[in-house]
A and B are shown apart, each in its own frame.
Chain A
């Protein structure tokens, strides 16, 4: 059995770090892991997607349409863009945040209305206000940990595994605040 996780967002939001934390957690649990990342041109404020797959043996490094067990979306529009990658009974965790793409800013296209409602109609949906929680903790950058916390139960692994991987991955000065941020998401009622 291979578990498929997708992390989607806007370039610069820290999707890469999140996928690396999930990958390391899976490795700690003894799984074979593959992570596929996006670097270079596509990162510059563009739509970015990274994949984490883990199981007894993983071949393909990417998750394909209809195969994701969990999608973690750092932005609403990106959640909608990749929702068709979700498995029938998969879960999508959405950070309730809007970033207008340039195609919307220039007026060429409209930002879709009612994304959360659309998603809740046919998926298992978890909505989290990551930025709000991060700002309450005093650092907007820990929003990744809040969102990851909200997705952690859907991915699996014990709490200890998550916290120790976060300790190993984030800058040492920010371990405590990242742990707090993770717990905000982890304890949220879904």
Chain B
């Protein structure tokens, strides 16, 4: 029987961790890394969890490693910023059991707020970076990563990108190899990073960098594919696939370990090839180091730092593009939108009515920035809605933020929003914060978190009570309002605007996409009563469109019967029907 299967890159990473004998994995969801933990949670042999944020996840992995087992932390690129503090020092302490940080970059920003290149952080923190180019390599590189981690006493970053994480290709399965935990040994100079020990460890880190760089020539993840010696490519990750597609006859130096680089391998390649292109997505990490070695290459002068690459992009630069595409038609764009029945829409409809501004955060509710709701004014990073609003108040005073609120999801609030709220309490804020509590981590595809009462493995657990948490940290006014109770929400917002008491409103209603939720009714328009005023269309519900005659129609298959539009119709034209 064949043990070949087709797997998503993220599933292959989970499989690799399973086969490598990983014992502990901690993560916070973030596209395009989320599915790694979801797949890994299916293996009973591995302890997996959702942590409230990436810093916590990283530290859980570090602790597990110190205790002598193989461990992993998974996150998206911006998550590594949150986990950067432990990472930089973990590089100094080195590992007990092997440890891998899987970090998913998002060139093209399909689902992210910036396009940073994790390899730069690997270089800055002196942590080796592995870059697979398809699912089979993703699985193998995880296993090789753990070997390198243990051989050289270092954490490893496995860097993926959206195209790798969310593409499927064939993978050959192997068995899991169980390993005995390393016996514990107290090592103050290795694990207690006070200055005296850290000074000693920095020397070790530099020696380690040099050793890995020297040994990298013979590592199986790096290889030269000799072909036409007039043209060659130095490439890594998914970009390798585009090179093979566009220029199969060329010589290729495929780099699997992009930090530290094997200088001897680069020299070997450069000496044989007439014209060399460095083809790497995002930053010129390889290119700059090859140039620093004194070689001339073509890199970012021909290829952009922005977005995803492709075979045709390369063909166009090489002048070999022969494609004959049809003319592109002009079409109205179809941006992502809040779903029918989304509770965020109800809250935003009130903010929009009161002409309020929202300091926004990371989640589905970021979509409240676009027409017709247009209520969000900022979106920076996880947790920033609350602290940025606080900054505005301290800069410009109470009057300035009277018409502002901060909006943040339940999962994001527990990620890093709670720290910002502590700051508001401590430093006497008078702002209003709305926690959009939809009982899940929505945008990444419905993951549990510390306030849902379920673990990643689906077990029941204690659910943090957001209201009690806010009261406990000293918020003077905490209100719970059902998200679809727009009357109560309007009253509360108006009241909060009139006094200067720090207020947290927890808007509660489950995400309309949570599995198992039933929607027994749907909204329906009485054409006779519809006055074509368009009031119901101001909430941007995708189920609501217009007929040819200007009256409104509601798509019964899309509508979840939330009734928000019904409340906006002054003519009683919208009714509710049972399915």
Taking Cβ atoms with an 8 Å cutoff, the residues of A that contact B are 10-12, 20, 23-24, 27, 32-47, 58-62, 64-67, 77-78, 80-81, 83-86, 88, 99-106, 108-112, 118, 122, 140
Contact = CB atoms under 8 A, between A and B. Distances in A.
Contact of A44 (B134, B333, B364, B557): B364
Contacts of A34: 134, 167-169
A95 B299 CA distance: 43
A84 B328 contact: yes
Contacts of A102: 334-335, 337, 370-372, 540, 542
Contacts of A103: 332-335
Contacts of A46: 334-337
A67 to B, nearest CB: 7
Nearest to B311: A60
B522 interface: no
Given A33-B168, A37-B168, A112-B331, A64 B312 contact: yes
9 contacts: A38-B110, A40-B110, A46-B337, A47-B334, A66-B323, A80-B331, A84-B327, A106-B540, A109-B332
Nearest to B29: A40
B289 to A, nearest CB: 26
B326 A122 contact: yes
Nearest to A66: B325
Interface-centre pick from A40, A60, A88 (highest chain B CB count, 10 A): A40
B233 interface: no
Given A39-B31, A42-B110, A84-B329, A62 B334 contact: no
A65 B315 CA distance: 13
Contact of A66 (B31, B166, B167, B324): B324
Contacts of A43: 336
B495 interface: no
Given A46-B337, A65-B325, 11 more contacts: A24-B6, A34-B169, A44-B338, A47-B334, A62-B163, A77-B334, A85-B325, A102-B337, A102-B540, A103-B334, A106-B537
Contacts of A58: 169
A109 B335 CA distance: 13
Contacts of B372: 102, 106
A103 to B, nearest CB: 5
B436 interface: no
Contacts of A42: 110-111, 336
> Which interface class (under 10, 10 to 19, 20 to 34, 35 or more) fits B?
35 or more
Name, among A106, A109, A118, the residue most crowded by chain B CB atoms within 10 Å (CB to CB).
A106
A41 B540 contact: no
B312 to A, nearest CB: 5
Contacts of B370: 102
A39 B166 contact: yes
B557 A40 contact: no
Given A46-B337, A80-B331, A59 B168 contact: no
Choose among A12, A24, A46, A102 the residue with the greatest number of B CB atoms under 10 Å from its CB: A102
B364 A101 contact: no
A10 B110 contact: no
> What is the interface of chain A mostly: helix, strand, loop, or mixed?
mixed
Given A39-B111, A40-B444, A86-B326, A45 B542 contact: yes
Nearest to B366: A41
B178 interface: no
A24 to B, nearest CB: 7
Given A41-B110, A105-B540, A64 B334 contact: no
Contacts of B544: 105
A109 to B, nearest CB: 4
A101 B540 CA distance: 10
Given A23-B6, A39-B445, A81-B331, A106 B371 contact: yes
Interface in B232-253: 238, 241-242, 244-245
Contacts of B444: 40
B336 A44 contact: yes
B52 interface: no
B235 to A, nearest CB: 12
A59 B244 contact: yes
A18 to B, nearest CB: 13
Interface string B163-178: 1001111100000000
Contact of B31 (A23, A41, A99, A105): A41
A45 B327 CA distance: 26
Nearest to A32: B170
A100 B244 CA distance: 40
B545 interface: yes
Nearest to A45: B337
Contacts of A36: 163, 166-168
Nearest to B106: A40
A101 B329 contact: no
B32 interface: yes
Nearest to B4: A27
B353 to A, nearest CB: 17
Given A66-B325, A88-B324, A44 B337 contact: yes
A70 B338 CA distance: 31
Contacts of A80: 329, 331
